[in-house]
Amino acid sequence: MTDLLLGADLWTSTLRGGAALLFVALGVYLPYRAGALNLGAEGIMLAGCYGAILVAAKTGGSPWVGVLAGMATGAALAGLLALLALGLRANLYVIGIALNFAVSGGTAVLTGILYGTAGTITTPSLSPLPHVGAHWDQGLPWLGQLLGSQTVLVYVAIGAAVATTWWINNWRSGVVLRATGTRPDVVQAQGFDVRRTQAIALIVGGALIGLGGAQLALSGTAQFTPDMTSGRGFVALTLIFVAGSRCGLLIPLAFAFAAFDAVGVNLQALHLPTELSAVVPYAAVIVLLVLVARGQELLRRRRPAATPTAGGPDEPPQPPQPSLTADLSISSQEADRL
């Protein structure tokens, strides 16, 4: 039992899976802060997986070509989403949800056309991403195996999250992005194009989501299986709602989910039903949401009561209304930087 929870294999899987989810969470977070919530992250991630494997298989098996293809696929789908929602005024949420179904079915159809099967895509020419520090385990048995068996994208994901947190809080362009989501009138008055900012955030975010798909498909066994994302795009939506304005929280949240996912897989060694072990990470997400909602409710109760409104002395004060963007507003000093 100890090996199931403390073994290097479990934490190796945690870092690999957490990096993929972190890329996706960052890709959803950027347009979210710009006021354009991307509900198509699940489909874009799956398309990133598919594009990475397909292009790598067709071009000699280079995983780095696959990584670029995954990013390009994600950016292209996010660009289509931006065109339909921002350019043609379609409903962003409806288009995002439809994209998830379209990619899920489209990858199966395309696989059947190209390979004559709707199942797994894998060929002998496909190579996974190389691991950094492959010989680190000689001096550090546990830690060396853990860190040395990761792809470079694991460290890129963590660095990207740290850099995004710094940029969005300290750079003028980051303030513009945040203000676009909460004060678009101020942004427009300062001469910035709100839709252009949202479109750029969606496309850059799509590239990050596609990169997460490439990490998922190429970090271990280089292959594509139908619906291999297993709801990670929707989990990323949960993570950004929990993180709110604290982008840095995405790092521990992503790796915590990946840890529960890895534990669920390891529990199969105890001969538990596969369906039961697969529920573990998603049950953890539900518990997390309940705890966050409970914490927000306690904070609201501790706030001083609002003063009565002008409707009369007998009219009870109105309680504050909960909002997903309640903590995303910019300060007056940040507004002056626009």
DSSP 3-state assignment of 122?
A: coil
Number of domains in the chain: 1
Q: What is the reported pTM?
A: 0.85
What pLDDT, in 10s, does the model give residues 24-69?
999 999 999 999 999 999 999 999 999 999 999 888 878 999 999 9
Alpha-carbon separation of residue 308 from 120, 301, 318, 321, 322 (angstroms): 63, 17, 8, 16, 19
pLDDT of 204-257, one tens digit each? 999 999 999 999 999 888 889 999 998 999 999 999 998 888 899 999 999 998
Beta bridge partners, 289, equal none
For residue 209, give the CATH number of its domain.
1.10.3470
Report if residue 310 sits inside a domain: no
8 belongs to a structural domain: yes
- The answer as to whether 19 is a domain residue is yes
pLDDT tens digit sequence for 123-155: 777 888 888 765 555 555 656 666 667 889 999
70-84 pLDDT, tens per residue?
999 999 999 999 999
> In the structure, what pLDDT confidence band is assigned to residue 268 with cuts at 50, 70 and 90?
low
If pLDDT is split at 50, 70 and 90, which confidence band does 289 have? Answer: confident
Residue 318 belongs to a domain: no
CA distance 271 to 266: 10
Residue 312: pLDDT band with limits 50, 70, 90: very low
The pLDDT value given to residue 127: 84
Residue 224's SS3 state is: strand
What DSSP assignment string belongs to 186-217?
HHHHTT--HHHHHHHHHHHHHHHHHHHHHHHH
Q: Which residues contact 328 (CB under 8 A, 6 or more apart)?
A: 33, 178, 181, 182, 244, 245
- Whole domain around residue 75: which residue ranges? 2-304+324-336
Q: Which two tokens stand for residue 116?
A: 């004559």
Dihedral in degrees, nearest 10, Cα atoms 12, 68, 127, 59: 170
In a domain, 167, yes or no: yes
172 lies in some domain:
yes
Is position 233 within any domain?
yes
CB 222 within 8 A of CB 53: yes
pLDDT at site 135: 57
Task: Give the residue from 250, 251, 325, 322 showing the smallest Cα distance to 34.
Answer: 325
